[in-house]
Structure 1
């Protein structure tokens, strides 16, 4: 973690000030899609982006960190978690490194494979959840068909499992979501940013 608890608290205060002064898109771009990350030093962040982009054969600029690893604090809350996780909690060793991949080409490849899987009428308990996120322009890997029957899902989970277990980037679980475009990523992030605005 690059920031002390005191520095993170100050970053939260600055974020909340910007929530009042800036549009949701400006807040997203200032704190999420641009700038340094809180969880990793710059060279480690680049290396993580490179490892992911190399595996998926895309450009490193199409991979970025989101969530508390990026900002140093979480702007979402999870009231149904045990224990509940409040908004503005600091990034910690229990946090994840949440990555976003923005690639229309990769998105369409996996979408096509999912369609073909669905045509075979194979068992897929989370298909409705998958479709809900797909409608919003992103693919959540935990909603993909079961990894033991869906090759692309199995490769996805195996890659991130190994990336996490190496420990190169700290004791954090590393996971990623796949977005069709920057529009869809920013639209999804805007949901939580707007919640933060409403609570001021």
Structure 2
């Protein structure tokens, strides 16, 4: 496995690798964790008359495919919000995902339902995705969409699309996607391109790791 610029993190008694592509990898079991994929989000906005660019879902899929290949992952767990909305089901992104999935039938896919999944419905059955409710126990962790402590287990979650604001000497400010750990809960950045990030308010004891797409760095 090529480690690249991944950052190793001990979490809940096992090793995770935080990936600059905005995902986390469990090397012992070769499982990739992805939060907030939001497949078909731009298509859904265009259906509502909002003029947003096309092709973001396909870009997400290409990045996911490259990450799976780089890590030799055998399973992907989506930590909620796989589909953006019911309108997304007819999107070109879902069709592209179905074509891609047909060539990777041996790859296990699991979805932990999130709030958007409740409204959009479970993914089409031909995508071959196992769907479970949170909290889903896997290894030493509770896999969730909504970030909340779970007794006896460290948590991996999404939902918040965390980011961290970096300030420059010339009063420049940049919000980068971030992995944010607090109180036994590690929140992954949103994987989807058309999702954005929200700056987290850091508290004493928090740990925060930012990615610029090429590397993951721990903030002091």
Q: Answer whether TM exceeds 0.5 for this pair.
A: no
TM-score by length of 1: 0.27
The structure carrying a bigger strand percent of its residues is 2
TM-score by length of 2: 0.25
